[in-house]
Amino acid sequence: MTLAFTLNDGARIPWLGFGTGTALFNKDSTEAVKTAIQAGITHLDGAQLYRNEESLGQGIKDSGVPREKLFVTTKLAETPSAPTIKATLEVSLKKLGLDYVDLFLIHSPVVAMKEGKLKNWWKEMEDIKQEGLAKSIGVSNFTIEHLQIILEDATVVPAVNQLHPYVWGATSKLYDFCKEKNIVIESYGGLSSIVRASGGPVDLVLASAAERLSKESGTTVSLGQILSKWLIQKGAAVVTTSSELSRIQETLSTASLPDLSVDEISAIETEGSKVHKRFFMKHVFNE
């Protein structure tokens, strides 16, 4: 059975998702999505901002995997393209060729905050869930402040907050807050410390853990797998953007690796907190 996390509304989100942003931004993702699904990924992560929902939908169709076996996410653009959020989702559903998405997220709180509409946006999200156009609803790149604002009047607690790590020193309190509210963290750009910022203090800790797990499992464990294992053990879903079949298979195998020790997890967080590097959505956090 595929590892999955239970959301606060009872839905199950597969631990590994394939993202159609970053390298696939504004590009045809059809073949990459098809490859990911056929390799065993059932969780697909899209967004209106990525400008490729049509190809995400085509990849899903071409995979031949029944809709009910997939978990599909899309996200509301920072500036909605229609008068209502429901209308923007209906456009997305048409592009995706789907009747509903499993998860619909507010991609960024910036515009809603500036216009004083954050609570109104969340009320519209709750209506969308009520109508069944999205099975679960959540947010992305929200701080504690943003969450507190919507929770004041919310009848539905966000199921997910999608975040970018290697900012652990700034994120640990937010992680604790989400855990307290039973909001699942979903990580994007989770390998940034070795892909975009190699040579940092966390590298030696990852290498040491990879060596131990390699010996224990009898297979070569990569630094990327250690980071993904750390996220899994923190209860976070992981979104990958790699479309290389070998890399997808390697990432999928991470869940079955031996667990990191308490000391290894602590070391990753201690060393990772020594460097703050945010590669995405800097404007949300005034960076």
Mean pLDDT, the chain, rounded, equals 90
Domain boundaries, the chain: 4-198+228-258
> Which residue shows structure tokens 């966390």?
202
CA-to-CA distance for 179 and 182, rounded, in angstroms? 5
In this structure, are strands 43-45 and 237-240 parallel, antiparallel, or unpaired?
unpaired
The answer to which of 11-15, 23-27, 178-182, 269-273 has the lowest mean pLDDT is: 269-273
**Reported CATH class of domain 4-198+228-258:** alpha beta
**What pTM value is reported for the model?**
0.91
pLDDT band at 285 (very low <50, low <70, confident <90, very high): low
Report residue 252: phi and psi, to 5°. -60, -35
Classified as helix, coil or strand, 58 is helix
Which residues are known to be catalytic? 50
Instruction: Judge whether 30 and 55 are in contact, CB under 8 Å.
Output: yes
**Lowest mean pLDDT segment, chosen from 156-165, 258-267, 274-283:** 274-283
Residue 146, annotated as binding a ligand: no
